[in-house]
Amino acid sequence: PLDASRNVEAQYARGAISMQTGDLETAEMWFRLAAGSGDWASTCHLAELLARQDKVQAAKALFRGLDTPAAANQLAKLAVRAGEREEARGLLLRAAEGGDAAAMGNLALFLERGIGGPADAAAAARWRRRAQEAVAAAS
Please report, for the chain, the start and end positions of each structural domain, with discontinuous segments joined by +: 1-63, 66-139
**What is the model's pTM?**
0.80
- What does residue 99 show for φ and ψ, rounded to 5 degrees? 105, 5
Host H or E run for residue 64:
none
Contact call for residues 95 and 103 (beta carbons, < 8 A): yes
Contact call for residues 76 and 100 (beta carbons, < 8 A): no
Determine whether domain 66-139 maps to CATH 1.10.10: no
Contact call for residues 46 and 76 (beta carbons, < 8 A): no
Query: Shortest CA distance to 85 belongs to which of 96, 77, 95, 73?
Result: 77
Contact call for residues 57 and 64 (beta carbons, < 8 A): no
Q: How far is 73 from 106, CA to CA, in rounded Å?
A: 9
> In this predicted structure, what is the pLDDT of residue 6?
75
pLDDT values of the chain reduced to their tens digit, one per residue, 139 residues: 456 667 999 999 999 999 999 999 999 999 999 999 999 999 999 999 999 899 999 999 999 878 899 999 999 999 999 999 999 999 999 999 999 999 999 999 999 999 999 999 999 999 999 999 999 998 8
> In this predicted structure, what is the pLDDT of residue 66?
85
